[in-house]
A and B are shown apart, each in its own frame.
Chain A
């Protein structure tokens, strides 16, 4: 594993994306948040295409708003804000689907009341779960591309799948010691990457 760190500690991603030209910040941002938004929306019952649309829409809102985002963790986490944006976009989609082109005499207010129930208690939980998943997947992917497939396999199969180091060593054709080293190195690396990615 290379000792030089390709991702030194940086200011908050959310500060960095205020600069629309910071491509790597945006790449990281989208890679991190697009999957969670998409997954969340899918779990809220949206079709794939609609989910992709919503994700796109949320990212657009963030892009448009990024410049004036004053991120203050004391006021509320970024992902709580993102949750509101996502939920709102989702509501609009439901509204669009259920109301267009229906033209009943209902008042706009009634529609709004129908369309915006309070967030279900588990909704936030799902959101948090998807955030955790997304963050982990992002970090895992980062580490995975930095090590050999064998190293990754040795880590994943022993640490995540719970296979015995001996069995994995045999199947990968490496020594038991090498399996342990691979596992330890990936764990260390993963923890480092996760440590650099504050929960925002």
Chain B
């Protein structure tokens, strides 16, 4: 060891940098370095910190500044996500640079004549309209029908994912089911050279995003007109149990020449994130218009679309989305946590009531938003009418925000989003509904499940119908045309006349099914829509009345599940989901059977039948403790089955 005052040799300094000096030796050199400027310089030079490092240091400073913490988080998110998906991405990527710098269009069939890019089935491709991770959109000509169409072809790498294909077909069919003037229709869904595609009309016009980019904020009547039409289109979609999930200005098309607005890209957003096989919230869609619950990856419902609609209205007022930040993650954080910059601060001409509507739609808590898109459409329509005809001012129904009754009507809507088709004029409070219902001549009460329909036909205007799904109770007076959306699960439907229970039925609403029941003076019968092709697989083979806990029942359930699973896999091997509904039904059936099996397994295996047991024979479909048993107990004394209603109500359940 040397003295503190003696300069260490270069070797010792190198050893110091490398960390290989002994502890006391190092301590001595460190003390020496405290004061010896010469050694300080030497040390740095030996480490490589000479003139060339000064450049690196400057660049480091710059590099450090170049990246914000938001950038860091988004990049780390990307990195994490990429790893989640793995690097083993196979297949060609559209837009591949190696394909001559052009989009990969090699899947197209040969062009029948010059000037065309090629064909997709019978469609003659004229040009590429757009391209995204999801797929490619082509402008094409349909010679058979002599019209222009837009053909959206699924990206090959997504087409390789079975679930994505299935979802593509399913969602496309769901979107196709929404036949509405404010929704871009789906003409066809098919597959070409292994790639699923869907055909839509080619719409000449621009998107709302284009309009905003071009013109900035819109004028009030325009905002109301577009907002109303989007809300109407959404209401139609929600009515079909379809949640758009990606409502934003670029998905709202403004048709040229006519003042018509159409929502596009229905359900496709869903396809996108299913196929990306990730829980990431970065890559799916533009977060600017995403509802907080969506941003957090929580379940979405039609109210998520309402939040997005609020964002669109906001954007129309100010020309920019409500939540902006340097990165997608930061946007999502804002969506979840922050209140957007007040509209009036930048656009004082926007009336209070519109501000209130937008704020209500942008409520973080879905329960604080409006009950349905139909309600919003109605509200905007009334304001638009008043704007165009000031004489209408003073209309009492023009509450600017949900009134006191909103919370209540929402509780209803949560359990049963009330969407009234055919009677759009119905207000949005329960009271109004009831009033209007009483006036309605129609005698059909429809109950929609998110993905299935239960239709109750009420022939007697004097009856009061109560629908109870354990959490909520819905009371409907008299006859009327309703469309209620109920949660899947068990619902008790009771009809009361002059205070007397004249009808009661315990119905299991499952997703994707359809079931009909009649309630009337003669207490009519019901019919269940069935899928003849899959009847065998879908028809419950296990008798519902079997002892739920019995071994035979359990075995039968398992056998039935095997059969359903077998059928499911068999169909999976077939061509692209010929019928999305069938898959859905089979899936639901599997879920149901698994639940019943679990429930049966959870029970102690009885050695003998327990006739006195209140065990919910009928609620075998429901989970234990779901309330089925108490309903079951009431049932015998209240039901007055009609002659054609001899089978137990569960049999009407939607298969």
Question: Within A140-196, which residues are at the interface with B (CB < 8 Å)?
Answer: 140, 159-161, 165, 175-178, 180-181, 183-185, 187-188, 190-191, 194
Residues on the B chain within 8 Å of A21, using CB: 87-88
Q: List 28 A-B contacts (CB under 8 A).
A: A1-B18, A20-B86, A21-B87, A35-B67, A38-B78, A49-B286, A52-B74, A55-B78, A56-B282, A61-B96, A89-B95, A92-B103, A92-B131, A97-B209, A97-B250, A100-B130, A104-B204, A130-B66, A132-B59, A140-B60, A160-B57, A176-B35, A177-B33, A177-B34, A185-B47, A190-B56, A191-B47, A191-B53
- Chain B: minimal CB distance from A144 (Å): 11
8 extra A-B contacts, CB within 8 A, seeds A101-B206, A191-B48: A27-B79, A50-B286, A53-B132, A88-B97, A95-B128, A111-B127, A116-B101, A187-B44
Q: Mark B45-67 against chain A: 1 for CB-CB distance below 8 A, else 0.
A: 01111000100110111111011
Decide if A197 is an interface residue (CB 8 Å cutoff). Answer: no
Residues of A within 8 A of B43 (CB): 180-181, 184
> A31 near B: Cβ within 8 Å?
yes
Q: Closest residue of chain B to A49, judged by CB?
A: B328
User: Which residues 284-342 of B sit at the A interface, judged by CB distance below 8 A?
Assistant: 285-288, 325-328, 330-331
Binding-face segment, A7-15, A62-70, A71-79, A117-125: A62-70
Q: A30, B89: Cβ atoms under 8 Å?
A: no
Residue of B nearest to A162 (CB): B57
B60 touches A160 (CB 8 A): yes
Contact with B along A33-49 (1 / 0, CB 8 A): 01100110010000111
Contact A175 B30 (CB under 8 A): yes
Size range of the chain B interface in the assembly: 35 or more
What is the chain A residue whose CB lies nearest that of B276? Answer: A56
Contact B127 A38, beta carbon cutoff 8 Å: no
Q: What residues of B have a CB within 8 angstroms of the CB of A39 in the complex? A: 66-67, 71
Residue of B nearest to A31 (CB): B79
Which A residues are CB-close (under 8 A) to B240? none
- Tell me if A85 and B97 are in contact (CB < 8 A): yes
Q: List A contacts of B286 (CB < 8 A).
A: 47, 49-50
The answer to whether A1 touches B117, judged by C-beta atoms less than 8 angstroms apart, is no
State the CA gap A146–B403 with chains docked (Å).
60
Chain A residue at minimal CB-CB distance from B99: A88
Give the residue of A48, A99, A101 whose beta carbon is less than 8 angstroms from that of B264: A101
Q: How far, in angstroms, from A96 to B205 measured CA to CA in the complex? A: 15
B88–A60 CB distance below 8 A:
no
Q: Which residues of B contact A185 (CB under 8 A)?
A: 17, 19, 47
* Residue pair B130, A95 in contact (C-beta under 8 Å): yes
Inside 8 A of B78's CB, which chain A residues have their CB? 30, 34, 38, 52, 55-56, 59
Q: Which residue of A lies closest to B79 (CB)?
A: A30
Q: Is A113 an interface residue (CB 8 A)?
A: no
Partner pick for A30 among B83, B91, B205, CB 8 A cutoff: B83
A160 touches B61 (CB 8 A): yes
Which residues of the other chain, A, contact B127 by a CB distance below 8 angstroms? Answer: 107-108, 111
Known interface pairs A52-B282, A101-B207; A63-B63 also in contact (CB < 8 Å): no
- Expressed in whole angstroms, the minimum distance between the Cβ of A4 and any Cβ of chain B is 11
Within 8 Å CB of A137, what residues of B? 63-64, 66-67
- Asked if B93 contacts A49 (CB within 8 A), the reply is no
B401 nearest CB across to chain A (Å): 30
When distances are taken between beta carbons in the complex, the residues of chain A under 8 Å from B93 are 57, 60-61, 64-65
Chain A interface mostly: helix
How far is the CB of B99 from the nearest CB of chain A, in Å?
10
Q: A56-B133, A159-B49 are in contact. Are A1 and B19 (CB under 8 A)?
A: yes
**B35, B49, B328: the one within 8 Å of A187 (CB):** B49
**B148 cross-chain contacts in A, Cβ below 8 A:** 103
Residue of B nearest to A136 (CB): B63
Q: Determine whether B446 belongs to the interface, using a CB cutoff of 8 Å to chain A.
A: no
The CA of A100 and the CA of B33, in the complex, are separated in Å by 66
Known contacts A35-B67, A38-B78, A52-B282; A95 and B131 CB within 8 A of each other: yes
* Docked pose: A160 CA to B56 CA in angstroms: 9
Q: How far is the CA of A176 from the CA of B131 in the complex (A)?
A: 59
Q: Is the CB of B88 within 8 A of A103?
A: no
Residue positions of A touching B, CB distance < 8 A: 1-3, 17, 20-21, 23, 26-27, 30-31, 34-35, 38-39, 42, 47-50, 52-53, 55-57, 59-61, 63-66, 81, 84-85, 88-89, 92, 95-104, 107-108, 111, 116, 130, 132-134, 136-137, 140, 159-161, 165, 175-178, 180-181, 183-185, 187-188, 190-191, 194
Residues of B within 8 A of A188 (CB): 17-18, 47-48
A-B contact count (CB 8 A): 238
Contacts of B330 in A (CB 8 A): 48
The listed residue (A100, A111, A191) touching B137 by CB distance below 8 A is: A100
B203 contacts chain A at the CB level, 8 A cutoff: yes
The CA of A89 and the CA of B91, in the complex, are separated in Å by 17
Measured between alpha carbons, how far is A88 from B139 in the docked complex, in Å? 21
A159–B77 Cα distance when bound, in Å, is 30
In chain B, residues 152-209, which have Cβ atoms closer than 8 Å to a Cβ of chain A?
A: 157, 202-207, 209
Given contacts A52-B282, A159-B57, A184-B49, contact A64 B288 (CB under 8 A): no
The answer on a CB contact under 8 Å between B157 and A64 is yes
Complex alpha-carbon distance, A68 and B91, angstroms: 12
Is there an interface contact between B67 and A64, defined as CB atoms closer than 8 Å?
no
Which chain B positions have C-beta within 8 A of A55? Answer: 75, 78
The verdict on B388 contacting chain A, using a C-beta distance below 8 Å, is no
How far apart are A177's CB and chain B's nearest CB, in angstroms?
Answer: 3
In the complex, are the beta carbons of A184 and B133 less than 8 A apart? no
Contact at A26–B87, with CB atoms within 8 Å? yes
Rounded to whole angstroms, the CA-CA distance of A136 and B90 in the bound complex is 31
**A160 CB, min distance to chain B CBs, angstroms:** 5
Smallest CB separation, A79 vs chain B (Å)? 13
Judge whether B106 is part of the interface by a CB distance below 8 angstroms.
no
**Is the pair B117, A34 in contact by a Cβ cutoff of 8 Å?**
no
Which residue in chain A gives the minimum CB-CB distance to B86? A20
Contact between A99 and B130 (Cβ–Cβ < 8 Å)?
yes
Q: Kindly provide the distance from the CB of B139 to the nearest chain A CB, expressed in whole angstroms.
A: 7
What residue of chain B has the Cβ atom nearest to residue A116's Cβ? B101
Residue of A nearest to B156 (CB): A64
Checking B62, B75, B137 against A34 with a beta-carbon cut-off of 8 angstroms, the contacting residue is B75
Residues of chain A within 8 A of B77, CB atoms compared: 52
The complex places the Cα of A1 from the Cα of B17 at a distance, in Å, of: 8
Q: Given contacts A49-B288, A130-B66, are A178 and B133 in contact (CB under 8 A)?
A: no
Could you tell me the distance between the alpha carbons of A26 and B83 in the complex, rounded to whole angstroms?
A: 8
Do A101 and B150 contact each other (CB < 8 Å), given the known contacts A48-B74, A53-B133, A92-B103? yes
Identify B33's interface contact among A2, A17, A81, A181, CB under 8 A. Answer: A181
Instruction: Please state if B82 and A34 are interface contacts (CB–CB under 8 Å).
Output: yes
B202 touches A103 (CB 8 A): yes
Set of chain A residues within 8 Å of B20, measured between Cβ atoms: 3
* Nearest A residue to B35, CB-CB: A176
- Chain A residues whose C-beta falls within 8 Å of the C-beta of B328 in the assembled complex: 48-49, 52
Q: How far is the CA of A88 from the CA of B100 in the complex (A)?
A: 11
- Shortest distance between the CB of B377 and any CB in chain A (Å): 23
Contacts of B206 in A (CB 8 A): 101-102
CB of B408 within 8 Å of the partner chain: no
**Are B89 and A64 in contact, with the CB atoms below 8 A?**
yes
Report yes or no: B48 in contact with A187, Cβ–Cβ below 8 A. yes
Q: Which of B1-40 contact A (CB under 8 A)?
A: 16-20, 29-35, 40
Contact A59 B82 (CB under 8 A): yes
Are the CB atoms of A30 and B250 closer together than 8 Å? Answer: no
When the two chains form their complex, are residues B203 and A49 in contact, meaning their CB atoms are under 8 A apart? no
Q: Is the CB of A96 within 8 A of B130?
A: yes
Are B132 and A96 in contact (CB-based, < 8 A)?
A: yes
A60 to B89 alpha-carbon distance, docked (Å): 7
Roughly how many angstroms separate A34 CA and B88 CA in the complex, as a whole number? Answer: 17
* A88 contact set on B, CB distance < 8 A: 95, 97, 101
Report A-chain residues with C-beta under 8 Å of the C-beta of B44. 180, 183-184, 187
